[in-house]
Amino acid sequence: MGRSSSLVGHWLYEPCKKTGPNHKATLDLHEFDQWTRSRYRSSWQNTIMCYVRRFGYLVFSDNLRELDMLAPTVRNNCIKSLIVLSKYLGNYVEFTQKLKNHGIKTTRPDSLKSFLRILNSNNSDILRWYNESFQILRNNEKIFLKFLLYSGLRKEEAVTSFNKIIQLFKDGKLSEYYDTNLNCLCHFKYPKEFIRRTKNCFITFIANDLLNEIVNSEPVTYNMIVKRLHRNRVKCRINELRDYYGTYLLQHGILEAEINLLQGRIPTSIFIKHYWSPKLSELKDRIFNALKELEQSVNN
């Protein structure tokens, strides 16, 4: 038999040369899809499903040579996806031991690749792209683009947050999300949407003026923004706004640890985890002072 046979949403792994004579298991793809959707962001969840459909049988295989022969970028995502599958199936320890026995591991970008990314970065003209895109997008999408620039959120987080602000305002519950004393969005109050295994966001400082623009706006979808830009032959560079935000704050006196906090990263440092306690009201003032300069640059 080949790798698998599809049985109305199931994959059946039967004894064969690839999986070995003692393995037989059925995977309900629909249930696995629902399980991953409840735990991972949509883009990563789609990647997991893609690799599980193609290589899921390797979780039961004693020969992982095929996995080791994949291109490095493909292999990384494939290994991570199969580890997720092994956790779902309950054979995580067995599968990771087989990876170790075969000397198979994920690779991290080396320092040269990181340097080349910095060297080839074209964030210097991102504000020009921002203003160009502003002329193309609809009013609610313009406000969303502004929200991205001044929040530093990932695009998925920003869409969720933007639409949540609108909905909570309509329901009269915006105070549950927006702290008026700190002028910040409290993402941590909604862990199912904003707290994930690897990528999180906890708080975002946002001025009242921008908040008022959002509550009087309409919901947005990322796909519609991308389509509108492409129709006008403008490249979508939304992901670069987050990089620009972090770099801009660092250049304007905000500490790296503070930027990490704002962008949902808690370093492994013992000091950061257990002793560092920034005063958020003071941090807010410094953030807003820096963003005022950014606003002047955008308007000019």
Q: What's the pLDDT tens digit per position in 273-297?
A: 666 678 899 999 999 999 998 988 8
CA-to-CA dists, residue 58 to 27, 33, 44, 62, 291, angstroms: 13, 18, 20, 8, 50
Angle at 185 between CA 290 and CA 127, to 5 degrees: 40
Which CATH number does the domain housing residue 172 bear? 1.10.443.10
Model pLDDT, residue 209: 95
Residues written for the chain = 300
Residue 237 — φ and ψ, nearest 5°?
A: -125, 30
Q: What single DSSP character describes residue 57?
A: G
Q: Which range of residues forms the domain containing residue 295? A: 116-299
First to last CA, the chain: 66
Q: Do residues 191 and 258 share a domain?
A: yes
Question: 56 and 27 in contact (C-beta within 8 Å)?
Answer: yes
Q: Do residues 220 and 126 share a domain?
A: yes
Residue 10, pLDDT above cutoff 60:
no
Return the SS3 of 220: coil
Under 8 Å CB-to-CB from 189, ≥6 apart: which residues?
176, 177
Answer left, alpha or beta for residue 111, where phi above 0 means left and psi between -120 and 50 means alpha. Answer: alpha
Query: Which uninterrupted H or E stretch holds 38?
Result: none
Residue 28 — φ and ψ, nearest 5°?
A: -85, 105
Q: Do residues 233 and 131 share a domain?
A: yes
Structure tokens at 262: 């704002």
Q: Do residues 217 and 92 share a domain?
A: no
Residue 62, pLDDT above cutoff 90:
no
Q: What is the mean pLDDT of the chain?
A: 84
**Range ranked top by mean pLDDT from 23-27, 123-127, 198-202, 219-223:** 219-223
Rg, Å, the chain Cα set = 23
Q: Do residues 45 and 188 share a domain?
A: no
Model pLDDT, residue 141: 97
Overall number of domains in the chain: 2
Of the listed ranges 15-29, 42-56, 276-290, the least confidently predicted one is: 15-29
Residue 216, pLDDT above cutoff 90:
yes
Strand partners, 21: none
Q: What is the pLDDT of residues 181-213, one digit of tens each?
A: 999 999 999 998 898 767 789 999 999 999 999
Q: Which residue has the tokens 């629902």?
A: 34
Q: Do residues 94 and 214 share a domain?
A: no
Q: Tell whether 107 is covered by a domain.
A: no
Strand partners, 13: 25
Q: What is the pLDDT of residues 238-274, one digit of tens each?
A: 999 999 999 999 999 999 989 999 998 876 666 666 6
Q: Tell whether 110 is covered by a domain.
A: no
Model pLDDT, residue 123: 60
